[in-house]
Amino acid sequence: MKATIKDIAKKTNLSVATVSRILNNKTGYFSEKSATKVHKAAEELGYQKNTTAVELVTQTSKVVAVIISSTKTNFADQIIDGIQEVAFENNLNVIFLYAGENDEEIQYKSLVTAIERSVMGIIMVAVELNGSNLDYLQQSRIPYILLSTAHGPKGSAFITTDNYQLGYRATEFLIERGHRKISLVGNDLSDTGTERLRGYKDALKNNHISFNPGLALMGDFSYEDGITAAKKLFQPKLRVTGLIGGSDMVAIGIINQAKELGFSVPEDVSVMSLDGTNITNIYRPIITSAIQPFKEIGKRGMQQLLNTDERPHQSQLLTFNINEGESTRRI
């Protein structure tokens, strides 16, 4: 059996109340002499505080649960880093739960795990909550925030990169370098993808380029989306000069398939991406990319959760920079 404060009380001939006060260092409520005895006994018994009991009696928790959509989303690493950094500064514990790839059942199970433990807050990373899960989350009354996803309705707060600008400025970037046949590839049909598409269209329009629906290929940000798009757009002949991948993986898919078909990047075709994780620096050619501030998204998410009491959650759209690599060129 694990030792409890009762065991310490018995061993030191003190009450559990006094032991508790000493262990929690409630200065002024105990004598040095008792303190020494208690600490010695605790040490000898190998005492471990039972946080579960503490949380029950104090009705508080110092735990934030982070629910992540999947382990396949490599940008989540940076968001996690940001969350951890702020949590560490504020002496909070963070537990992570993986909710699979849009799997409603696993998503629900991870919500249950977090909610039934009465965590102090929940951060959802890149999770598209379906209706009933969102209801469940809201009903719990636990403060929450959505990162790297943009749910307009239902009044949930979210923090993400400005997806409209992502679409707009990437398109503009290629236009400024002489491209006019530009494809947008691998974005999904959620707010994230549709905002990017809107930005793409507006950038074309403002530069007097007519929108060609055949060049906006939606998907789910996957490597395969890039492969598919390249097959479609590069055969029987190159129908575009520039492509924007909805993620780094999409861009790499495009480039690999371009090579497969005998085209060079950026000599024959320019390719850029919209995430800018570390892989863009490690791949060759180095990939031109809009670098999303993922770590900052994580930090702000955690900070905002801590300020719950002061004001209602507010959504934030963050800005970004475009890093010019070796996968694009002026034509």
Partner DNA sequence: CTGAAAGCGCTTACAG
Find the shortest distance in angstroms from Cβ 151 to a copy of itself. Answer: 22
Phi, psi of 45 (to 5 degrees): -85, -5
Q: How many helices and strands, by DSSP H and E, does the chain display?
A: 13, 12
Instruction: Give the max Cα distance, the chain.
Output: 88
Could you tell me which of 273, 311, 318, 307 has the C-alpha nearest to residue 158?
A: 318
**Measured distance CA(219)–CA(216) in Å, rounded:** 10
Residue 201: name its binding partner from a copy of itself, DNA, none (Cβ under 5 to 8 Å by kind). Answer: none
For a copy of itself, the closer of residues 154 and 259 by Cβ is 259
Find the shortest distance in angstroms from Cβ 11 to a copy of itself. Answer: 18
Tokens 């990939």 sit on residue:
287
**Measured distance CA(159)–CA(320) in Å, rounded:** 13
For a copy of itself, the closer of residues 109 and 180 by Cβ is 109
Burial of 318 (0-12, 13-18, 19+ CB in 10 A): middle
- At residue 178, what is the residue type? G
Per DSSP, the residues of 248-308 read: HHHHHHHHHHHHHTT--TTTT-EEEES---THHHHSSSPPEEEE--HHHHHHHHHHHHHTT
**Measured distance CA(203)–CA(182) in Å, rounded:** 11
The residue from 18, 107, 171, 187 that contacts DNA (CB under 7 A) is 18
The CA–CA distances, whole Å, from 7 to 25, 52, 174 equal: 18, 18, 71
Which of the ranges 4-12, 92-100, 139-147, 171-179 carries the binding residues for DNA, by CB under 7 A? 4-12
Residue 117: name its binding partner from DNA, a copy of itself, none (Cβ under 5 to 8 Å by kind). Answer: a copy of itself
Find the shortest distance in angstroms from Cβ 70 to DNA. Answer: 31
The residue from 25, 28, 91, 210 that contacts DNA (CB under 7 A) is 28
Residues near a copy of itself (CB under 8 A) are: 2, 46, 48-53, 55-56, 63, 71-72, 74, 77-78, 80-81, 84, 88, 93-98, 106, 109, 113, 115-118, 139-141, 223, 249, 252, 256, 259, 279, 282-284
Residue 95: name its binding partner from a copy of itself, DNA, none (Cβ under 5 to 8 Å by kind). Answer: a copy of itself
Burial of 45 (0-12, 13-18, 19+ CB in 10 A): middle
| Strand pairing category for 216-218 and 270-273 | unpaired
Q: Which are the contacts of 16, defined by CB distance < 8 A and separation ≥ 6?
A: 5, 6, 9
Find the shortest distance in angstroms from Cβ 222 to a copy of itself. Answer: 11
For DNA, the closer of residues 30 and 294 by Cβ is 30
Find the shortest distance in angstroms from Cβ 223 to a copy of itself. Answer: 6
Q: Which are the contacts of 139, defined by CB distance < 8 A and separation ≥ 6?
A: none
Residue 157: name its binding partner from a copy of itself, DNA, none (Cβ under 5 to 8 Å by kind). Answer: none
Query: Is residue 262 within the footprint of DNA (CB under 7 A)?
Result: no
H-only helix segments in 46-103: 51-58, 76-89
Residue 311: name its binding partner from a copy of itself, DNA, none (Cβ under 5 to 8 Å by kind). Answer: none
The residue from 44, 53, 81, 235 that contacts DNA (CB under 7 A) is 53
Query: Is residue 309 within the footprint of DNA (CB under 7 A)?
Result: no
For DNA, the closer of residues 18 and 327 by Cβ is 18
The residue from 36, 40, 50, 260 that contacts DNA (CB under 7 A) is 50
For a copy of itself, the closer of residues 82 and 199 by Cβ is 82
Query: Is residue 6 within the footprint of DNA (CB under 7 A)?
Result: yes
Point out which residues bind DNA (CB under 7 A). Answer: 1-2, 4-6, 13-18, 20-21, 23-24, 26, 28-34, 47-50, 53-54, 56-59
